[in-house]
Chains A and B, each alone.
Chain A
Amino acid sequence: MQPRLGRLLLMATGVFSQGRAKISERTLRTDKWWIQPLITVGVLLSFIVYATWRAFEGAHYYAEPLISPFYSPCLSTTCVEGSSLLGTPFGHIVIFGMVLSPAFIILIFPLGFRMTCYYYRKAYFRSFWMSPPACAVAEPHAKYTGETKAPLIVNNGHRYFFYIGLVFNTLLTIDALLAFKNPQGQWGHMSIGTVVLLLNATFLWGYSASCHSCRHAIGGRLRHFSKHPFRYKAWTVVSRLNQKHQNFAWVSLIWVAFSDFFVRMVSLHPTWNKYFF
């Protein structure tokens, strides 16, 4: 018994606390509660692995006129010609003997936006951190302080990432509009790539518009809706979108990765980008 004492002490909290019904299982749920977190881990991990590889690759992100959303705006002098919409304020940066890929300069913003998103918080707290893995399934941690301490307290600043996200959405919309050019730079053409980038921008706007911080800023912070009829109206619209925030979160995430993949493919095989006109 002795060696198990430590574990027992650790376990003597939560559902095993003194005074609560003596039940030895950490959950009595009979359904497959672990499937949801497993799928979430699977999808998020695949995205992380793919995005990391692509960010390190530092190539095949531009195939005139298409630019990968992972690399837009391209801000470094290492960017391939024609890909920098906003100029190149960053020079040739070398870290650990490797040239810094332009993706890393901007990565923090979309990453921070998603990491602090109220929906993704639920997703990763449940699946990666298992706190809790599913409802009424005891979590494995002995201590819990939620979002009251660093680093998780940063989640309270979600709105700032939301505002920066709007800038990114605007830039990616411009990228989609530029895709109405042909590789020779003439306007009035449309290809599969145009559709891919337009959908990408649309999903990202949907993701931002349905954001909880957006809902709050638009009207949620008011006490007297009756004094602000327009904001109230806007709030009801955002509230309706907000109910679909989870869907926007997944669709936009997957589509960003797909858009990048598509641009990579076109950069390797230009004929893949079929032009409709």
Chain B
Amino acid sequence: MARTLKLRIWRGDDKTGGLQDVTVEANHGEVVLDIIHRVQATQMGDLAVRWNCKAGKCGSCSMEINGKPRLACMTQVAAYPEDETITITPLRAFPVIKDLVTDVSFNFKKAMEIPSLQMPEGLKPGEPRMQQVDVERSQEFRKCIECFLCQNTCHVIRDHEENKKSFAGPRFFIRIAELDMHPLDMLRNRKKTAQEEHGLGLCNITKCCTEVCPEHIKITDNAIIPMKERVADEKYDPIRWLGSKIRRREEVL
């Protein structure tokens, strides 16, 4: 065993809980999820933790390590100094179920509020054709593994529970952007609803979502800001507004 690790792990449920100290052995090259599994196997048999792939691809093992929202399976133990105590807590923007497991159903509810791709009428399966340059932008957003680290870090809901009802969150702003930029999407009110129903205006582009995204999706630069600009076309640009009144439709470009 390469080193002895001091940990503080949050244990509890939605009513009570606190940080518990543990000391555990760590091997060279291990990640925090390995360590949690060792603690589970040797000292805390009932420690609850959600995980699946151990490859940074399923998005299950989101938690906060030394206060930073991260994937436990992608966090090297070696990144922390020998004498440092590593603090591990569940995500702090969602209700906790037990120990490191939180209830992320908020995100599934928000997902359902966004209408899916609406193809042009009469187009049968297999018929749609798109150019690569037209889908490239949307493809970046398809890398999302739904770890919800961005949702968890976004101060709009992390720090203001009351905003949850009116805010879809960064993960769903990239979904809206993906569809609004999609060459075959026929739904024409995505910009308006982004602002009026999904709370795009609550985002103050402080970029924490981008900072924590394990897939390195440029959430703010490539989805949120372009959407804010598209919303400005529709709602805050008097010249464009006049143009759309004359032409009576959202422009298709």
Contact = CB atoms under 8 A, between A and B. Distances in A.
Contact of B204 (A147, A228, A232): A147
B226 A156 contact: no
B253 A19 contact: no
Given A15-B93, A20-B95, A135 B253 contact: no
User: Which of A28, A222, A242 has the most chain B CB atoms inside 10 A of its CB?
Assistant: A28
A121 B205 contact: yes
Contact of A223 (B12, B93, B206, B253): B253
Interface string A142-172: 0111111000110011110000000000000
Given A118-B205, A132-B159, A226-B131, A159 B93 contact: no
A245 B204 CA distance: 17
A131 B160 CA distance: 11
A21 B92 contact: yes
B14 A19 contact: yes
Interface stretch (B20-28, B30-38, B229-237): B229-237
Nearest to A153: B201
B158 A223 contact: no
Contact of A135 (B84, B153, B199, B235): B153
Contact of B10 (A21, A141, A157, A221): A21
Nearest to B207: A122
A46 interface: no
A21 B16 CA distance: 8
Contact of A213 (B92, B182, B203, B229): B229
B96 interface: yes
B216 interface: no
Interface stretch (B45-53, B61-69, B108-116): B61-69
User: Which of B67, B158, B230, B235 has the most chain A CB atoms inside 10 A of its CB?
Assistant: B67
B163 interface: yes
A136 interface: yes
Interface in A28-87: 28-31
Contact of B67 (A20, A136, A224): A136
A29 B212 CA distance: 14
B161 A122 contact: no
Contact of A125 (B94, B204, B232): B204
User: Which of B162, B225, B252 has the most chain A CB atoms inside 10 A of its CB?
Assistant: B225
B64 A138 contact: no
A227 to B, nearest CB: 8
Interface in B183-228: 183, 199, 201-208, 211-212, 221, 225-226, 228
A122 B206 contact: yes
Interface residues of B, number: 64
Interface string A177-217: 00000000000000000000000000000000000110110
Nearest to A12: B161
B64 A14 contact: no
B68 A156 contact: no
Given A135-B208, A137-B67, 15 more contacts: A19-B95, A20-B94, A20-B95, A21-B96, A23-B89, A122-B207, A132-B159, A135-B69, A136-B212, A147-B203, A156-B236, A222-B253, A223-B180, A228-B253, A242-B221
Interface of B: 10, 12, 14, 16-19, 64, 66-69, 84, 87, 89-90, 92-96, 102, 131, 133-134, 136, 153, 155-156, 158-163, 180-183, 199, 201-208, 211-212, 221, 225-226, 228-233, 235-237, 252-253
**7 tightest CB-CB pairs across the interface, nearest first?**
A28-B67, A29-B67, A146-B202, A135-B208, A19-B95, A216-B229, A226-B131
Interface of A: 13-15, 17-23, 27-31, 118, 121-122, 125-126, 131-132, 135-139, 141, 143-148, 152-153, 156-159, 212-213, 215-216, 220-226, 228, 232, 242-243
13 contacts: A13-B160, A21-B17, A22-B18, A28-B66, A30-B84, A125-B206, A141-B159, A147-B202, A156-B235, A222-B253, A223-B183, A224-B183, A228-B253
